A = this chain, B = another copy of it.
Amino acid sequence: MESREQTRSRATLEDVANDAQVSLATADRVVNKRPGVRAATVAKVNAAIRRLDYRPDPAAARLARTRPRRVVFVLPAGANSFVGMLGEQVEANVEWMRDQRVESKVIAVDVFNPAELAHTLRAQEGHCDAVIVMALDHPLVRSAIDHLVHAGTVVITLVSDVPSSARTHFVGIDNSAAGRTAATLVGRFVGKRRAKAAVILGSLSLRDHAERYFGFNQVMAQEYPHLSVLPPLEGQDTPARNESLATQLIASHPDLAAIYSVGAGNAGICAALRATGRAHDTVFVGHELTSASRAELLNGTMDAVINQDAGHEVRSALRIALAQWSKEAVLSDQERIRIDIYLKDNLP
């Protein structure tokens, strides 16, 4: 029977002020990097902060703050259901946000129009404290992000990263790892027979789709050489296009053993599989757990769904923004978004 405790109360801003021989207000100014303090004074205060191991008390800060922090979510318009879930999740967290003194707004933009996206982003300057954006990786967008960050706005990319930008943080999964995961699932579910595997994606110009496809191919080539991967088909994430692609695929490849759907629009593929009577003997792996994909998993048309938890992602983005503002520590392992694998048996 072993035990352990913690005690010791922490240093306050006032302790810091005393130690540095300045006033509370001045100490506060340097902690919050506000202007109007001589460099020498800043140094004194910082020294005191280090000496006393000072960290602001988030509860006190939150209570004292009158003006709420403003965060803007920029999400794709014409939403597929995963994007819809993101929206619902921000909605689901307004209560919690209010407790944290944050207000949010959702703006829907056309993802495929970089100029519009970039314009929307730039327009937020000065109007909010953080923008959380599901962006596409394009020079215009990158520069808009850099601009915002330069102006002191926290920018968090969500789901789809803009790695070359100065974004404060990315919240999402490693898409090539997701693609590799899909490949292992496909390879092991199909088994040892020689056969073909198809890939249907939205567009190769979408960074996450391209990355998933890359990871998928990598593992298939290395570990399942008896399965030949057909050239990728682009269905624009629309069920209708996906359905006709899948139908053709099935017709022209009698030895088609598996389909990996990289993007959205799985309903079309399921329809094709059912119409051709191949729903149960073709391995079908796709992304994002929605009420639709959940049902397809249960009825056996889909065999596995790879997911990123939308709720986790929005909460995580919010917590990270909060942490940036008040320089709290972020628990990196709480904020890591998992590559979830769902089978019919472990559905939430």
Chain A positions near chain B (C-beta within 8 angstroms) = 1-7, 10, 57-60, 62-63, 77, 92-101, 103-109, 120, 177-178, 180-181, 183-185, 188-189, 191-192, 215, 219, 303, 309, 311-312, 315, 328-329, 331, 333-334, 336, 338-346, 348
Contact = CB atoms under 8 A, between A and B. Distances in A.
A191 B331 CA distance: 41
A109 B345 contact: no
The number of times this chain is found in the oligomer is 2
A265 to B, nearest CB: 23
B103 A5 contact: yes
Contacts of A180: 345-346
B315 A334 contact: yes
Contact of A2 (B3, B63, B94, B106): B106
B59 A99 contact: yes
Nearest to A283: B188
Contacts of A345: 177, 180-181, 183-184, 215, 219
A77 B215 CA distance: 42
- Determine the main DSSP class of A at the interface with B: mixed
- Identify the interface centre among A58, A94, A101: most chain B CB within 10 Å of its CB: A58
Contact of A346 (B96, B109, B341, B346): B341
Contacts of A62: 59
Given A3-B107, A59-B63, A348 B338 contact: yes
B99 A343 contact: no
Given A10-B98, A98-B10, A192-B191, A106 B3 contact: yes
A137 to B, nearest CB: 21
A268 B300 CA distance: 36
A44 B94 CA distance: 29
A6 B338 contact: no
Given A1-B109, A60-B63, A92-B331, 8 more contacts: A1-B77, A7-B103, A10-B98, A184-B343, A184-B344, A215-B345, A311-B331, A315-B334
A338 B340 contact: yes
A309 B340 CA distance: 12
Nearest to A310: B333
A8 to B, nearest CB: 9
Contact of A105 (B5, B94, B191, B192): B5
A346 B178 contact: yes
A329 to B, nearest CB: 6
25 contacts: A1-B107, A2-B77, A3-B105, A5-B104, A6-B104, A57-B63, A57-B99, A58-B59, A58-B99, A59-B62, A59-B100, A63-B63, A92-B331, A92-B333, A177-B345, A177-B346, A180-B346, A184-B345, A311-B334, A336-B348, A338-B338, A338-B346, A341-B341, A341-B343, A341-B346
Contacts of A191: 191-192
